[in-house]
């Protein structure tokens, strides 16, 4: 099926009847491993782990070499028999650590979440239903994805493939994802991805450097920078965007000379 998926149209009562799994599902799940990659995430990783740990008996965290106490926080919170802490050098993007994490998983299913994301309760309480619905036919589950930059909804993607069987793997290349043979779209719940423009631009400038030489990655990273800045400027004005220290770098990579002249005219310079 490639990147396609089968949309689940059954209602919750119909899903309960088909799967014989009660809803809301009863945690913790012992057949799904939570996967988290972190780098310099001391401000967020603790809250994320405390929020998600009650839902899963198995968690695998990989901390890329950080300048803060991300690793110490993860080690302090994940001490159960089913928890695994891995360490990697700083590789420039989280996908590079995913193959090691999937390989360290002992359950059939994996659920991947980034530190700046948060699955809502509706999604969490239906994960068992989703895997039971998939049975032996599907090995991947797409879930709705809500992305906000400075409170502005940014339609980066409407969904991500975050729930998948271990044997679907995960390539170590940038902007990658598992490659299931067959997948479903699960309409119940979503993952919230909320970040500041400053954080996003710093991330994507780093991604751009890590992906140099790959035309597709370069194009994607520049497009993400361009569209996020433009969307935020439409809400708050261009001075809000251009006053950041990273603006000259983003401007030279992601904006044409004609666009930059228009921005300067709008700012009255």
* Rounded distance between C-alpha atoms, residue 261 and residue 269, angstroms: 10
At the topology level, CATH places domain 6-193 in: Spore Coat Polysaccharide Biosynthesis Protein SpsA; Chain A (3.90.550)
User: In the prediction, which pLDDT does 154 show?
Assistant: 76
Residues 230, 147: contact at Cβ < 8 Å? no
The answer to whether the CB of 77 falls within 8 A of the CB of 49 is: yes
Q: What is the pLDDT of residue 2?
A: 42
pLDDT, residue 157, reads 63
pLDDT digit string (tens) for the chain, length 269 residues:
345 899 999 999 999 999 999 999 999 999 999 999 999 999 999 999 999 999 999 999 999 999 999 999 999 999 999 999 999 999 989 999 999 999 999 999 999 999 999 999 999 999 999 999 999 999 999 999 999 999 988 766 689 999 999 999 999 999 899 999 999 999 999 999 999 999 999 999 999 999 999 999 999 999 999 999 999 999 999 999 999 999 999 999 999 999 999 999 887 65
pLDDT digits (tens, 9 = 90+) for 49-97: 999 999 999 999 999 999 999 999 999 999 999 999 999 999 989 999 9
DSSP per-residue codes, 159-213: EEEEEEEGGG---SSTT-----SSEEE--S--EEEEE-HHHHHHHHHHHHHHTTT
Tokens found for residue 66: 């950080």
Per-residue model confidence (pLDDT) at position 4: 81
Instruction: Map out the domains of the chain as residue ranges.
Output: 6-193, 197-267
Q: Any residues with CB less than 8 A from the CB of 23 and at least 6 apart, and which?
A: 12, 15, 16, 125, 126, 129
- Residue 256 DSSP code: -
**pTM of the entire predicted model:** 0.91
pLDDT of residue 1: 37
Strand-strand pairing, 152-153 and 140-149: antiparallel
């Amino acid at each position: 099926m490639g990147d396609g998926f089968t949309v689940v149209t059954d209602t919750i009562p119909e899903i309960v009847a088909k799967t014989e799994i009660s809803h809301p599902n009863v945690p913790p799940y012992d057949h799904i491993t939570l996967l988290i990659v972190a780098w310099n995430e001391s401000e967020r990783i603790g809250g994320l782990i405390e929020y998600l740990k009650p839902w899963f008996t198995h968690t695998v965290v990989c901390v890329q070499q950080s300048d803060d106490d991300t690793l110490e926080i993860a080690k302090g919170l994940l001490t159960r028999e089913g928890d695994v802490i891995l360490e990697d050098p700083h590789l420039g993007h989280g996908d590079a650590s995913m193959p090691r994490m999937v390989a360290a998983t002992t359950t059939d299913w994996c659920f991947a979440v980034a530190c700046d994301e948060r699955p809502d309760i509706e999604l969490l309480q239906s994960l068992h239903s989703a895997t039971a619905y998939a049975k032996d036919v599907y090995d991947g589950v797409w879930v709705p994805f809500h992305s906000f930059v400075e409170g502005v909804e940014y339609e980066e993607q409407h969904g991500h493939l975050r729930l998948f069987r271990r044997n679907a793997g995960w390539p170590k290349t940038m902007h990658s994802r598992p490659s299931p043979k067959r997948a479903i779209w699960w309409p119940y719940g979503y993952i919230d991805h909320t970040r500041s423009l400053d954080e996003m631009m710093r991330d994507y400038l780093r991604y751009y450097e890590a992906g140099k030489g790959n035309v597709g990655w370069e194009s994607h990273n520049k497009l993400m920078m361009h569209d996020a800045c433009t969307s935020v400027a439409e809400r708050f004005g261009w001075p809000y965007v251009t006053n950041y220290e990273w603006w000259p770098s983003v401007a030279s990579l992601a904006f044409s000379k004609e666009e930059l002249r228009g921005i300067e005219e709008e700012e009255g310079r």
